[in-house]
């Protein structure tokens, strides 16, 4: 049975506070066509949720807002006249992209996140920091059998994002990739997907816990960005021929990691911009960008197919998120730890603890 009240974490204005409150549950008869009610069991906490709460970006979110976009749960109701093969009881994931038109050029080309009508979970529509979330049948991801919901949750944003970003890097087996932010939620998954793709990893982050995590996950080299003065030299020295990595997947939530990325990648290399720090700039010297044929590409989550692929690797046991499970009530404290860079890996919330 579906309750009428539930717990949710929300904020009413940018900057917070974030509070856990009792709010109504949208009832099955209130669902519109192509909406589903999902009983959220677990939700990852992404740095994007913190950026949204702080108002870091040049975009407006809904207010009050229930954040969260790495939700893993069970379909408990489907709106009448929905065009879907989802059934009640199916295990599904709520991603950042909650819905999009599927009709425009962007959608038809598989660039669903670039759809001008895209709705984002925990931004334009309430997200997964609630026990029962309304989402959209067209963008819900099926969670493969055998993948526990708590393991699926972080794949729905962090996993799919870095998996897609690695494809965008253009790297091939044998190439070397730098990952600034390697000890964070996205970064530590990027190390694992990179390994599957046959890439060699230089992890960049700070602190013993993140260093140990990165090396355990198979990063060949470690650079503590707080301990080196010349990051360009450190990255070049980390490759045998001194030319630098073939690509850098910048998953850092601070702008500093972008400053020299175009400089340290090797000729014909690619910087993939993933992290979304407020008002950050990439420095690209035009002369050297041309002379050394370097590329800068942005990469923004992934489409439905990429989400399915990213989940399959996790279901096959090849990707394992390092997480701690916390109750929803801890979210304000988790944001504080995230803000000060203390979290290695991910935090996953248990919505029914
Ligand atoms: O689709 C996208 N492009 C997308 C999807 C999901 C998340 C983008 N993001 C963005 C988030 O909004 C955020 O800006 O990616 C960024 C990272 O998200 P996250 O992995 O959830 O954040 P985290 O767990 O806090 O990890 C960030 C790491 O960056 C390190 C920190 O130590 C932390 O481990 N870091 C920082 I802050 N400065 C650094 C630097 N200068 C750095 N690492 C290397 N060099
Ligand atoms: Zn995210």
Mean local confidence (pLDDT), 219-226? 98
* Candidate from 179, 193, 207, 251 with most ligand 1 atoms within 8 A of CB, to mutate: 251
Cα-Cα-Cα-Cα dihedral sign, residues 194, 198, 199, 205: positive
**Are residues 124 and 180 located together in one domain of the fold?**
no
Q: What is the structure's pLDDT at 157?
A: 99
53 within domain boundaries: yes
Closest ligand 1 atom to 300 CA = 1
pLDDT band per the 50, 70, 90 thresholds, residue 341: very high
Q: How far is the CA of 105 from the centre of ligand 1 (A)?
A: 30
Closest protein CA for atom 34 of ligand 1? 184
315 within domain boundaries: no
Q: How far is the CA of 293 from the centre of ligand 2 (A)?
A: 31
Task: Look at the chain and report how many structural domains it folds into.
Answer: 2
Contact present, 43 and 68 (Cβ < 8 Å)? yes
Ligand 1 proximity of 180 Cβ (cutoff 6 Å):
yes
**pLDDT tens digits, 52-70:** 999 999 999 999 999 999 9
Closest protein CA for atom 22 of ligand 1? 47
**Are residues 329 and 284 located together in one domain of the fold?**
no
Q: How far is the CA of 266 from the centre of ligand 1 (A)?
A: 23
pLDDT band per the 50, 70, 90 thresholds, residue 273: very high
Domain hosting residue 100, numbered range = 5-157+320-350
What residue ranges in the chain does DSSP mark as E strands? 5-11, 19-24, 35-45, 65-66, 71-78, 91-94, 97-99, 119-120, 132-136, 141-142, 176-180, 200-205, 221-224, 247-250, 270-273, 295-298, 323-327, 346-350
Q: What are phi and psi of 230, to 5 degrees?
A: -110, 95
**Are residues 126 and 172 located together in one domain of the fold?**
no
**Are residues 265 and 165 located together in one domain of the fold?**
yes
Whose CA is closest to 45, among 329, 318, 353? Answer: 329
* Candidate from 43, 45, 47, 232 with most ligand 1 atoms within 8 A of CB, to mutate: 47
Contact present, 337 and 345 (Cβ < 8 Å)? no
Closest protein CA for atom 12 of ligand 1? 48
Q: How far is the CA of 95 from the centre of ligand 2 (A)?
A: 8
User: Residue 288, Cα to own-chain centre: how many angstroms?
Assistant: 31
**Are residues 328 and 250 located together in one domain of the fold?**
no
Ligand 1 proximity of 275 Cβ (cutoff 6 Å):
yes
Residue 153 sits in a domain of what CATH number? 3.90.180.10
90 within domain boundaries: yes
How far is it, in rounded angstroms, from Cα 281 to Cα 98? 28
Q: What is the structure's pLDDT at 255?
A: 95
Contacting residues for 27 by C-beta, under 8 A, at least 6 apart: 2, 4
**pLDDT tens digits, 170-212:** 999 999 999 999 999 999 999 999 999 999 999 999 999 999 9
Ligand 1 proximity of 186 Cβ (cutoff 6 Å):
yes
Ligand 1 proximity of 277 Cβ (cutoff 6 Å):
yes
DSSP notation for 264-282: HSPTT-EEEE----TT---
**Are residues 13 and 151 located together in one domain of the fold?**
yes
Q: How far is the CA of 114 from the centre of ligand 1 (A)?
A: 21
**Are residues 192 and 65 located together in one domain of the fold?**
no
Q: How far is the CA of 85 from the centre of ligand 2 (A)?
A: 26
**pLDDT tens digits, 111-129:** 999 999 999 999 999 999 9
How far is it, in rounded angstroms, from Cα 263 to Cα 286? 11
Contact present, 181 and 214 (Cβ < 8 Å)? no
Q: What is the structure's pLDDT at 20?
A: 98
Q: What is the structure's pLDDT at 97?
A: 98
**Are residues 179 and 213 located together in one domain of the fold?**
yes
**Are residues 116 and 219 located together in one domain of the fold?**
no
Q: What is the structure's pLDDT at 166?
A: 98
Q: What is the structure's pLDDT at 280?
A: 94
pLDDT band per the 50, 70, 90 thresholds, residue 306: very high
**Are residues 289 and 177 located together in one domain of the fold?**
yes
314 within domain boundaries: no
Residue 236 sits in a domain of what CATH number? 3.40.50.720
**Are residues 217 and 80 located together in one domain of the fold?**
no
312 within domain boundaries: no
31 within domain boundaries: yes
307 within domain boundaries: no
Q: What is the structure's pLDDT at 82?
A: 97
Angle between helices 331-339 and 47-54 (to 10 degrees): 90
232 within domain boundaries: yes
Q: What is the structure's pLDDT at 46?
A: 98
* Candidate from 252, 334, 338, 344 with most ligand 1 atoms within 8 A of CB, to mutate: 252
| Complex confidence, ipTM | 0.99
Closest protein CA for atom 2 of ligand 1? 300
**Are residues 252 and 328 located together in one domain of the fold?**
no
**pLDDT tens digits, 22-44:** 999 999 999 999 999 999 999 99
């Amino acid at each position: 049975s579906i309750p009428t009240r539930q717990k949710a974490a929300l904020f009413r204005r940018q900057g917070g506070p974030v509070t856990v409150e009792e709010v109504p549950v949208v009832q099955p008869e209130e669902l519109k066509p192509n909406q589903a009610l999902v009983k959220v069991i677990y939700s990852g906490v992404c740095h994007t949720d913190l950026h949204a709460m702080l108002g870091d970006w040049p975009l407006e979110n809904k207010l009050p807002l229930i954040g969260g976009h790495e939700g893993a749960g069970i379909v408990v109701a489907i709106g009448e006249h929905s065009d879907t093969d989802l059934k009640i009881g199916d295990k599904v994931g709520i991603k950042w992209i909650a819905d999009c038109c599927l009709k425009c050029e962007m959608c038809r080309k598989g660039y669903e996140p670039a759809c001008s009508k895209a709705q984002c979970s925990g931004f334009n529509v309430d997200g997964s920091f609630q026990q029962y979330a309304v989402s959209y049948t067209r963008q819900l991801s099926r969670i493969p059998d055998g993948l526990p919901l708590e393991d699926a949750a972080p794949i729905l944003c962090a996993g799919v994002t870095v998996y897609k970003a690695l494809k965008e890097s253009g790297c091939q087996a044998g190439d070397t990739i730098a990952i600034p932010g390697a000890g964070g939620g996205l970064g530590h998954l990027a190390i694992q997907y990179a390994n599957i793709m046959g890439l060699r990893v230089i992890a960049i982050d700070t602190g013993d816990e993140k260093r140990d995590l990165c090396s355990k996950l198979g990063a060949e080299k470690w650079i503590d960005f707080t301990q080196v003065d010349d990051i360009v030299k450190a990255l070049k020295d980390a490759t045998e021929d001194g030319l630098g990595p073939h690509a850098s997947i910048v998953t850092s939530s601070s702008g500093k990691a972008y400053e020299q990325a175009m400089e340290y990648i090797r000729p014909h290399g690619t910087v993939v911009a993933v992290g979304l720090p407020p008002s950050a700039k990439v420095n690209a010297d035009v002369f050297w960008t041309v002379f050394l044929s370097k590329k800068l590409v942005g990469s923004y989550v992934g489409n439905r197919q990429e989400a399915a692929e990213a989940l399959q690797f996790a279901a096959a046991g090849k990707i394992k998120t390092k997480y701690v499970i916390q109750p929803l009530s801890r979210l304000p404290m988790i944001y504080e730890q995230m803000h000060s860079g203390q979290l290695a890996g991910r935090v996953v919330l248990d919505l029914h603890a």
